[in-house]
Structure formats: C-alpha cells, structure tokens
Amino acid sequence: MDPFALYKISYGLYIISSLKGELLNGQIANTVTQVTAEPAQVTIALNKLNLTHEFVKESGVFTASILSQNAPMSLIGTFGFKSGRDVNKFEVLEYRIGETGAPILLESSVAFLEARVVSELDVGTHTIFVGEVINAQKLNDHEPLTYAYYHQIKGGKSPKNAPTYIKEEESTESSGEKYRCKICGYIYDPAVGDPDNGIAPGTAFSELPDDWKCPICNAAKSEFGQCGKYKCKICGYVYDPKVGDPDAGVTAVTVFNNVPDDWKCPICNATKTEFEKEE
C-alpha cells in the first residue's frame, strides 16, 4: 500500500470544541464531513486519547469552527499540538458559548456549526461521532483553510493523534538546510521561511533572529535539530534519520542532534562526536 496515495484525499481544518461542566476545551481536526442534508449531520473522528474526545463523549455536544486560511500557525500549535490537560486553550481567545453550552472559537474562523451527538462508531484509535447540526452561522467571506494549504503553503505537520498521520511525513529531506523542531516535528524550510512571523523565503536557519520561536509550538530555536544524514568518520557508517537506529532504541525520524549523547556507532562503536554531516 502506498500511504502517500492517501495524501490525495482533501480536507479542511477545524477547531472541534466541547465542554465538561465548567471546563472548555477544543482541538484541531481535519475530519469534519457533512454526511446528510436532511437533517444536516456531520461526522468527526477524534482520537480516544484526546481530552476533547472525553468532553464530546460525556457532554454529547460539540462545535466546529471552520478555520480561515489566515489562521496563525500559533493557533494550530495550541489546538493541534497541546492538550487541554496541560493548557487552557480558550484563555486568551475570542469565543462565545453556543446553544449547546460548548465554546465556539470566533477568531480566525469563517463559519461555525453546533451539533448534538446522535450516534458514534468505535474505529480503534478514534471514535467517529455523528452530530446533528442544530445551529450554523457564516462569519465572513475569507477563504477556508484546507489541509493541503496548511501542508504545502504554511509548511504545517500533523501529530500522531491525527487520523491522517503518516510516519514518513516526518521524514527528513536530504537538503541540509532544513531544521526540525524536536517538540512538535515542525520543519523549518528556508525555501518557505516563516511568513506569518515576518521571515521571508530564502532565510537560512542560522539567520533567524535568536528570539524566533517555532510557529507551531513556540519552542525556542535551541530545540531545533538539523535534518540530514551524518557519517561516522571512523568506519563510514551513515546515520539516516529516516531509519534511526531501532536496535539501539533510536526511533525512525530522530534527527541526529536528538540522538542520545551516549549513543554509539552501531558498526564501530565510535561516539557521536566522531560523526560529521554528510553533504
């Protein structure tokens, strides 16, 4: 099976929100689909580990805010890479409480809907919730954000909890210029830059201001590691981040900088310091 064939499926990006008592939470999802018109029903697929899953399952309600193309990466970072178990995602955002009692994110959204869960389907890692739409409203005429735009233009990534996650997506490119955030997996690509934060395409990682932060998870520059292969100067073994060193517990997609300091060359036992970047 070619997992990249699945990349050809089109999606939008949404904030799914729900509540538990007085607590509010929400998460990014790309899996909102309208499945019937009369009555209007939508499905969402939520990972069972997500706090939002717990809230939707218990409250039986959710809202979906349809994100705008100009939604900042920091918003996607907060809702897509952090859990409401660790942060209060709605603390500083513009939202309102809808008819269901669940929050509706208003900023960076072009429209929203509110739904009551009418059935659910266990699909392993995720639950598909079917919601009957009880309210919906258009907010403006901005372009909705598509999954393709998020990946291709904004340079965004998807975490493991996303149903569309493909491990290879985090693989590194042979170009030595790209850097990966070890917190969220975002790859800084000089060809793309970080236009949301005033970094023009063509800006090398080393030229980024010292106070530049990961546009997704806000991690410091020091949390980034250089993508690419590293070669052992002693025996010629090449460490490839795509492969890692599973025998030594280094999983695939680990950039060389993030390999533990006491890791040794699997061929000749040389230390990490004996490796040099392969051009």
Residues that bind ligand FMN (CB under 6 A): 13, 25, 27-31, 45-47, 50-52, 76, 79-84, 126, 150, 158-159, 161-163
Closest to ligand FMN by CB, 27 or 172? 27
Closest distance to ligand FMN from the beta carbon of 55 (Å): 8
User: How far is CA 269 from its chain centroid?
Assistant: 36
- For residues 147 and 64, what is the distance between their CA atoms, to the nearest angstrom? 15
Side by side, the strands of the sheet bearing 238-239 are 238-239, 230-232, 275-277
For residue 229, the surrounding DSSP H or E stretch is none
Q: In this structure, are residues 51 and 84 in contact, taking their beta carbons and an 8 Å threshold?
A: yes
Closest to 80 in 3D by CA, of 201, 218, 194, 188? 218
Closest distance to ligand FMN from the beta carbon of 46 (Å): 4
Closest distance to ligand FMN from the beta carbon of 163 (Å): 5
Closest distance to ligand FMN from the beta carbon of 239 (Å): 28
Closest to ligand FMN by CB, 64 or 255? 64
Closest to ligand FMN by CB, 26 or 241? 26
Closest distance to ligand FMN from the beta carbon of 259 (Å): 25
Closest distance to ligand FMN from the beta carbon of 193 (Å): 20
- Residues 61/67/73/76 CA torsion (nearest 10 deg): 10
Closest to ligand FMN by CB, 147 or 239? 147
Q: In this structure, are residues 275 and 250 in contact, taking their beta carbons and an 8 Å threshold?
A: no
Closest to ligand FMN by CB, 52 or 65? 52
Closest to ligand FMN by CB, 67 or 255? 67
Closest to ligand FMN by CB, 214 or 265? 214
The token duo for 8 is 């050809």
User: How far is CA 182 from its chain centroid?
Assistant: 13
- For residues 154 and 193, what is the distance between their CA atoms, to the nearest angstrom? 9
For residue 46, the surrounding DSSP H or E stretch is strand 41-47
Q: In this structure, are residues 27 and 114 in contact, taking their beta carbons and an 8 Å threshold?
A: no
Q: Which residue is nearest to ligand FMN (CB)?
A: 80
Q: In this structure, are residues 268 and 235 in contact, taking their beta carbons and an 8 Å threshold?
A: yes
Please name the residue that has the structure tokens 């709605």: 90
Closest to 257 in 3D by CA, of 212, 221, 203? 221
Closest distance to ligand FMN from the beta carbon of 236 (Å): 39
- Which residues lie across from 243 on neighbouring strands? none
Closest to ligand FMN by CB, 12 or 225? 12
Closest distance to ligand FMN from the beta carbon of 191 (Å): 21
